[in-house]
Structure 1
Amino acid sequence: MMLPRDLSRLVRTTAFKLLAVYLVIFALFAVSMIGYVAWHTRRLVESQVTENVDAEVRFLAEQYRLGGIQRLVLVIDRRARRPGSSIYLLTNFAGEVLASNVSELPIGLLDQQGTRVTTYKRSEEPGAKENLAYVEVFMLPGGYRLLVGKDIEDRDTLRQLVVRPAQGALVMILILGLAGGVFVTRRVLKRIDAMNATTERIMAGDLTGRLQVNGTGDEFDRLAQSLNAMLERIESLMAGLKEVSDNIAHDLKTPLTRLRNRAEEALRGATTEDEWRSALETTIEESDGLIRTFDALLMIARAEAGQARASMVEVDLADITENVAELYEPLADEQGLDLVTEIAPASIVGLRELLAQALSNLIDNAIKYGVPRDGVRGRIVVSLHRQDGFAVLSVTDSGPGIPDADRDRVVERFVRLEASRSRPGSGLGLSLVAAVARLHGGQLSFSDAAPGLRATLRLPIRALPSEMTIARTPDGR
């Protein structure tokens, strides 16, 4: 049983208000249709009555012209005896009745020619019913007056037959409409209450809560799917924030502890200027490493938050690629690697500094980990070309590569594989590259170069007029 509080809550819902407005509009439309049908029915009956009376008057006037008053009297008597006959009254100039099938008419009705609606009685019996009729009075030569009419009580009866059931149907429509409105609104309110319960659970801290999707594909399902996608993203961001916080606390604790220990060791053991200088240089070096780590974290956070999108402009990705590759050529040569570029013109809307930093990280990783294990001279290929509306920027090395199982992990913050534990770094380089890719609407992927690893950035492009590919080798040719 619905309580008054529940009913009040239901009536205040938007769904019920919309249904109520729709019901009122539908009721007005139904009343208009019923009124039109009743009016049209009345007009149709009146038109038929008028045509029948006019036809009878013309017929009787013709009979008078052909056979005189005697023939007219005979014709009226014969037609008046028929079941359901019309109303007839024929009088002479003195007002004496010559032929008739009515017993009572209003006084003075025959004094004026024309049509009108009047009352009449057919029987002279006491208590006889008085009916309505549509009549026409016609003056014949010789002072004779002819009245012909049709009973129109059936007109009102027919109207009642149309209007009364329609009125009952309208009442039923209103009742069923309200009942249907309550039913539909309660179903809508039930889904909204379920959504509210889920959101309250989420606000209480349970980020795993999701809105129910019934699979009907209606607007509530579409809304629930959009909100669930948003909740998935929020949960992922919160999990990432927690992971970053944990990683910062874990991975930065070691260099901070090392920094403190070295400062303490210098305070206790350093006696000469050279020892103090060495301690300070080591401290500065450790501090610079920490600053680089925090800078990388800030850069990743800004990229993932999308704060820099408003500052994006059209940049020449080919020029960025060429400059960064040229910067790393000497370092690659020192490590026994040939750095080769294959660059096709391509421009994108983005941030030059972030794109340059992302490419620098990829090339730096290739130099660190791309040296072949057999000791022969390795090769790094930096390639830029266009494909299906994207600029495809790839860095391919000839090193041992990354196992398939670890390729998804390497883009997480502070993740360092076993092979890289002994090398300098914070485990944030590829995380930054992935964040920059997402900021520009692209993606970072890894594949096997057989041998080596191929890191690929796919970014939406804006083509330059020139289609020429620029190829550079280590000797500049």
Structure 2
Amino acid sequence: MVRNNAFWHWAKRLLHTQAFRMLLVFVFFYAVSATALVAFTWWNAQRALDAQTDDTIEAEVGGLRETYQRLGVIGLSDVITSRVAQHGSGIYYLRSSNGAVLAGNLLELPDAARSDGRFFEFDYQRSQQDETVTRTARGEAFTVPGGFILLVARDISDQKLSRKKFLTSIPWSVGLMLLFGIGGGILMSRNFLRRLDVITRTSSEIVAGDFSRRVPITEAHDEMDSLAENLNTMLERTERLMKGMREVVDSVAHDLRTPLNRLRLRLEEMQRKLDPESPQHEDIENALAETDRLIGTFNALLLIAQADSGIIRDSMGPVDLSVIVADVADLYLPLAEEKEITLEVLPSGVLTVEGNRSLVSQALANLIDNAIKYSGPGDRITVSVSETPLSIDMTVADTGPGIPEDERARVLERFVRLEKSRNSPGTGLGLSLVSAVARMHDASLILADTTPGATPPGLKAVLSFPRALGRKPNMVERAF
């Protein structure tokens, strides 16, 4: 069963290849053209054979007429009798005006015979090796002066048999041409698919973070090799850019984060030296808050850059989402209780995905933090992990105001904040970071109403991770 499914999958891929379809169209038109050419040649040859037969009959008729004019009906009968005795392909019939057969090798005048001198074909009986067989002849009949009817014809059974064999061979020839053409198309498409699979596997490994991979180049030096060379050149440039990105990120992390942390420490030292009741103490408190917000923005941007560039793909491994949910929920439980919000974690078993534990935890923390920030006293936040046949979903659902459907795609962009959240603390990078983490894990970020039609509808954010490794990446966030 598995082998049959694999075969049908391969056959379906084969039928959808451009090379196979192009070759199939070429073979079809070639078969039609070849059949038309052979049919025209055969038709022309049949015309030539019929014309040759007609010319032979006309010449013989002319000779018999001269014989009749010179020797009369008795001489004509003798000539016909002598020709019949030669057992050739000639067919003769001479009848008097009263219906008596005077000479010839036909017992009666064929029904199709016409005495106007036009050619016609007819079947007749002939003895052959002690048996009577039906054969076909072509000839003409005309009236001789004196009321005599003379028919002169030639046996064309062999020509008719050749014609039948030819007509029978045409479908077989076309079928064989199509068969060999399809066979050649399968071989060519199989080679094309094999080389395309190499490119696909290489690109999948590159998407997974191995920027050192290159597309193999064969000795054929064909179009596929030219494509591979161009891809390898592009990959080399991409690898250099990614290496430069890593160096920039490391430099920024060192050159900016360290001064910011030093600034915060100095502000804290200055604050400790001041009287808590002095105005300067409050100013430094505000400066510390702004510094913390700046450090938070910097860290978020750094994480987004790392996720988008794939720098930390090497650190990915098996991650149990149920453990991450429990740990992050415990961290935010005191804050939820302080705002009189119910934070609930639904029980689940061990559900493991391939990912970066730190980034997945940060993404979940951002989702819970957003839910707490925009929910009020009495609201409920539910965090859960569930599985489907194709994915493992991590969900944060709240009963807060939610996000309008037409704004859900926009809130995933950097530094985007809706009008109703302008006065609340934040940088507008929370959902942008979650979106970047989803892209890095080939996952989907889905935003929807917790309770459609309710007021307020709430917001349900779902991080949907693919179950199977090596699945084609789905980097498009969906908003419903």
Q: Max radius of gyration: which structure?
A: 1
TM-score for the superposition, normalised by structure 1? 0.49
TM-score (norm 2): 0.49
